[in-house]
Chains A and B, each alone.
Chain A
């Protein structure tokens, strides 16, 4: 009967929040709350609908063993709850946080991080890692930006380069990343190197190579600027902007990230390759015995991952309308941390796209929120570290319990 109770609880809570949202929506203008609660009513309506739907659609729990006590629920979701508390605190300290445009901004900033995390999750799923991810972002950013400058810019990377089609530099940048991805995969698969060392070596190689490219005359290590508008649009375009009053528009990065999420979900869950990834991560020996071509699959994993980093790098270059070889520095650690917070096990074989999306969102919301209320960057570092440690600790206790 307990499951019915929790179902009802969710539905009722959802409806209450929904009602509160609707009431506030109509009451905020007459009560003069416009500048105090901003778009809070709309958020309440969305949250209310989600809760109610969750209560409505929730599958009845069949197995009694899967039932979790309230205390376990709290520990299992500690990070999520901490984030919610933080969001409430930020909203009180700085009511401007409750704006649709803030939510959209957070989603925009999450997009490239999510693409990175989806790439790196493949390498985590086989109990590996990829330290070269961040530098690949830098490589893709520099390579694509270097060929996408306006003809009139004073300091062109290739002074005589004609105005090429937009897709060409993007493909070149991504292929450049994939070559290094193949090198990663080759070192890991052929020599059975630990991915930590293999990708560390490749990371250093990429940074060096990218710096050499960046240092080529006449550019000589100057930040690449003068980016063509049609390329910048790739990262800056806003869809439906002004659809209704004050609506800032949805950044094109969000739909791009969603499409990639769907593709990756499909690959992981519906293809033989995806099944192989989980199989190799769960038990490599068993996978070999089962006749899975480990070499080919590992190559595939690293090449696919590097393709995603390449996409992220191109988008970063477009979004900022510029690039230096320092772009992407340290991104891989953020992406790994987001995956871990999202429930991807570093021991391999466990991890879902949904969890990774959650992990990236939690991370971005916390980071953005702290910046929003102007918390010192040093404290931000401390808090970030604590989150990672707590997330992994909770994760490990969960498995031990099982």
Chain B
């Protein structure tokens, strides 16, 4: 009796192992589940995996690199075929690459980009994402176009653009690049940008609202010609603060163009109401799909150029951003 039991158990074990061997197992580490952008990203990845018949398991890094490192170890010991990693701290990616390299598992980074040196240290390390500077460039272009087509936007008639910059979490790559390139784009459009104030609002609506309120008081909304926010939540916080100061409520003379990045539902609604000028869409659906397609190709050992996406420098898939405006600004 006992022998039969042991044998059956062994048989089941072998069967499951062989079944696993046939199926592609993707282990995906997300920096934090509770993030609207990563959520859309995750949904896109799940959808694509289902389409390709791969199994994807996701782990919530809870915004803590130590937690994420442990999750990567767990995935590797569980025998995943490929890793998709959204690092908590992009500068800590080397340790992740080393782990993947030691286990000879391909790794695809998403959303937060490791340095080129890190990616170069392992032939099976890739990155799928958007060029962060592009989001900055496009939001700057939105403002520049508005400024050119609306002469009244130059409130003090000096030909320069006096703007306020609301920045994301300090040290975040998106925050650095978006801040830099949005201003650069205005310059490239032939307008001289003048930063009257800037502040870190940690991607947060509430903080942005309080900060913008203080700016509206200290600088005076009549002296602000544009608000550039690193993301939509902060842009919406600025909009709420401006509304509290009777700006952006429909009166043409009391309007400050506000731009963000992300194109979330609240931002689209604010744009429909004319409270917000525009936003830039980070195409998470496309990125999620590309990451999974690349991961599956890597796990199968098939040609990565067959995914339908252009591979740049043998390491990168770049998904372009898209400008979003509504109503008359379209």
Interface residues of A in 59-111 (CB under 8 A from B): 94, 96-97, 99, 101-102, 105, 109
Bound CA–CA A97/B209 (angstroms): 18
Q: Is A209 interfacial (CB 8 A cutoff)?
A: no
Q: Is B244 interfacial (CB 8 A cutoff)?
A: yes
* Residue contact A325 to B34, C-beta cutoff 8 Å: yes
* Residue contact B244 to A222, C-beta cutoff 8 Å: no
Bound CA–CA A374/B215 (angstroms): 9
Which chain A positions have C-beta within 8 A of B266?
155, 223, 225-226, 322
Report the nearest A residue to B268, measured CB to CB: A154
Contact flags A366-378 to B (C-beta < 8 A → 1, else 0)? 0010011110010
Q: Is A236 interfacial (CB 8 A cutoff)?
A: yes
* Residue contact A215 to B34, C-beta cutoff 8 Å: yes
B210, B217, B264: which contacts A101 (Cβ < 8 A)? B217
Q: Total interface residues on A, using CB and 8 Å?
A: 37
* Residue contact B214 to A225, C-beta cutoff 8 Å: no
Q: How far is the CB of A6 from chain B (nearest CB, A)?
A: 36
A94, A225, A325: which contacts B269 (Cβ < 8 A)? A225
* Residue contact B236 to A322, C-beta cutoff 8 Å: yes
Which chain A positions have C-beta within 8 A of B33?
215, 221
Bound CA–CA A377/B214 (angstroms): 13
A221, A223, A319, A372: which contacts B214 (Cβ < 8 A)? A372
A96, A105, A154: which contacts B265 (Cβ < 8 A)? A154
Which chain A positions have C-beta within 8 A of B205?
223, 320, 322, 324
Q: Is B43 interfacial (CB 8 A cutoff)?
A: yes
B35, B240, B268: which contacts A320 (Cβ < 8 A)? B240
Q: How far is the CB of B74 from chain A (nearest CB, A)?
A: 21
* Residue contact A222 to B233, C-beta cutoff 8 Å: no
Interface residues of B in 21-53 (CB under 8 A from A): 33-36, 39, 43
Q: Is A153 interfacial (CB 8 A cutoff)?
A: yes
Report the nearest A residue to B267, measured CB to CB: A225
Bound CA–CA A99/B236 (angstroms): 26
Q: Is A302 interfacial (CB 8 A cutoff)?
A: no
Q: Is A10 interfacial (CB 8 A cutoff)?
A: no
Which chain A positions have C-beta within 8 A of B213?
105, 109
Interface of B is mostly: helix
Q: Is A211 interfacial (CB 8 A cutoff)?
A: yes
B34, B43, B264: which contacts A214 (Cβ < 8 A)? B34
Which chain A positions have C-beta within 8 A of B204?
326
B200, B217, B245, B264: which contacts A372 (Cβ < 8 A)? B217
* Residue contact A221 to B269, C-beta cutoff 8 Å: no
Q: How far is the CB of A92 from chain B (nearest CB, A)?
A: 13
* Residue contact A223 to B34, C-beta cutoff 8 Å: no
Interface residues of A in 340-361 (CB under 8 A from B): none
Which chain B positions have C-beta within 8 A of A225?
236, 264-266, 269
Bound CA–CA A222/B269 (angstroms): 14
Report the nearest B residue to A220, measured CB to CB: B39
**Given A99-B217, A101-B217, A215-B33, also A226-B269 (CB < 8 A):** yes
Q: Is B199 interfacial (CB 8 A cutoff)?
A: yes
Q: Is B250 interfacial (CB 8 A cutoff)?
A: no
* Residue contact B209 to A320, C-beta cutoff 8 Å: yes
Per CB-CB distance, the 9 closest pairs between chain A and chain B, nearest first, are A225-B266, A155-B265, A371-B214, A222-B36, A372-B218, A154-B265, A221-B34, A102-B217, A220-B39
Residues of A bordering B, CB below 8 Å: 94, 96-97, 99, 101-102, 105, 109, 153-155, 211, 214-215, 220-223, 225-226, 236, 248, 316, 319-322, 324-327, 368, 371-374, 377
Residues of B bordering A, CB below 8 Å: 33-36, 39, 43, 197, 199-200, 204-206, 209-211, 213-214, 217-220, 233, 236-237, 240, 243-245, 264-266, 268-269
Q: List 10 A-B contacts (CB under 8 A).
A: A96-B219, A99-B217, A220-B43, A222-B39, A223-B264, A225-B266, A248-B245, A319-B209, A324-B205, A372-B217
Known: A94-B218, A221-B33, A225-B264. 18 other contacts (CB 8 A): A96-B218, A96-B219, A96-B220, A99-B217, A154-B269, A214-B34, A220-B43, A222-B265, A225-B236, A225-B266, A236-B243, A236-B244, A319-B209, A320-B209, A326-B204, A372-B214, A373-B218, A374-B218
